[in-house]
Amino acid sequence: MKVIIPAIALPLGGGTKSLVNIADALVARGHQVEVLVVKRMPVHYPLHRCKVTVIPQLRKEFIPKGDLILTNFYTTFKPCFMAWPRRCVRLCQGFEPDWVKDRNFALWTYRQGVPTISISRWLDKKLLRATGRRGVVVPLGVERAVFHPGAGGKKSGPIKRILYIAREPRGYHMKGFGDFYRAAQLLHRMYKGEFIIDLVCPERSLQIRGVHCHVIGPQGPAQMANLYRGADLYVSSSRSEGFGLPVLEAMACGTPVVTTNSGGVMQFCRPGVNAIVTQPGNVRTLATGMLTVLTRPQKAHQLAREGLKTASTLRNAHFRQRIVTVLERLATQLKR
């Protein structure tokens, strides 16, 4: 089977990470994979096991034929659909109509009757409401060889560490950095002890006024695992997540989690059991959730223990096996 993946670019981010994972899983199963990247676009995830083709523009005349075209973002769909309408599959990693300006066009890409794959039940329900059709759900998984608690258990000191992935607000407003910014300032007034926020900033350095922050640049998987393990708390303030893999990675490292109900995280989050879950945009409840973890050791321990159990059931190996099996079946169906 030959699979074409129109990526346009391979920038930093969870969506790209998943695409690279899928491509690698297909190659490992013996399939051909060709990833399309537009000339002069960033490539931060090099692919060594499959063919990478640089194309002048993402237009139908530059889309090669494959047994299956795995479109994975609303901007990649139309040229592929125009070129090979009977070979397209729509991979949904996040419901773009929730945040992109051209909402109607994003909806159009889901309404052309091609098979869809979603990475969470929440996304599949979104697609059902938007199109009247269900697709296949293949939840992501965590790489347990990398993301694990480590030896010796977590050693918490008097100064607490909070880990947060801070995406550029102008380009990633749905990640809710502004909400976390205000919640961190509120926590600073509420919490009697000391804490440091480790801000992982993939795009540019960000700060929170009046709060002690340690700014960290882009990190690889092993480095992120060390950051999770070293944190007393991981926080996600996103307003929309197709799955929320960093939340699961934190759980796998034995770190308590406070997260917003951003959609896809409810695939595996159980409020009050393996995570404290708040409503998106509610700054006070986000700050209160963080305060709970920092001041109630027994609750923090419970969240960490249950999070570990959850992460053990969602493994990357299972995702890789399942996604390749689904794509193989769809390729067979599309040939008929």
| Amino acid 152: pLDDT | 67
Interatomic CA distance for residues 147 and 265, integer angstroms: 18
Residues 293 and 173 in one domain: yes
With a cut of 50, list the residues of the chain below it in pLDDT.
none
User: Is residue 133 packed enough to be buried (19+ CB in 10 Å), middle (13-18) or exposed (0-12)?
Assistant: middle
> What's the structural domain count of the chain?
2
| Amino acid 46: pLDDT | 78
Give the distance, in angstroms, between the CA of residue 59 and the centroid of all CA atoms in the same chain. 27
Residues 304 and 211 in one domain: yes
CATH number of domain containing 132: 3.40.50.2000
Residues 209 and 280 in one domain: yes
Residues 189 and 326 in one domain: no
Residues 299 and 324 in one domain: no
Residues 108 and 163 in one domain: no
DSSP string of 147-185, one letter each residue? SS--SS-----SEEEEEEE---TTT-GGG-HHHHHHHHH
Residue 149 inside a domain? The answer is no
Interatomic CA distance for residues 138 and 93, integer angstroms: 10
Residues 100 and 191 in one domain: no
CA distances from 216 to 192, 236, 273 (A): 25, 17, 30
| Amino acid 49: pLDDT | 87
Residue 113 inside a domain? The answer is yes
Quick one: which H or E segment has residue 334?
Answer: helix 316-335
Q: Domain limits at 103?
A: 2-141+316-335
Residue 79 inside a domain? The answer is yes
Residue 148 inside a domain? The answer is no
Residue 8 inside a domain? The answer is yes
For residues 14, 315, 279, 106, the Cα torsion angle rounded to the nearest 10 degrees is 40
Residues 195 and 302 in one domain: yes
Residue 160 exposure: Cα atoms within 13 Å on the Cβ side: 23
Helix 297-313 × helix 283-295 angle, to 10°: 100
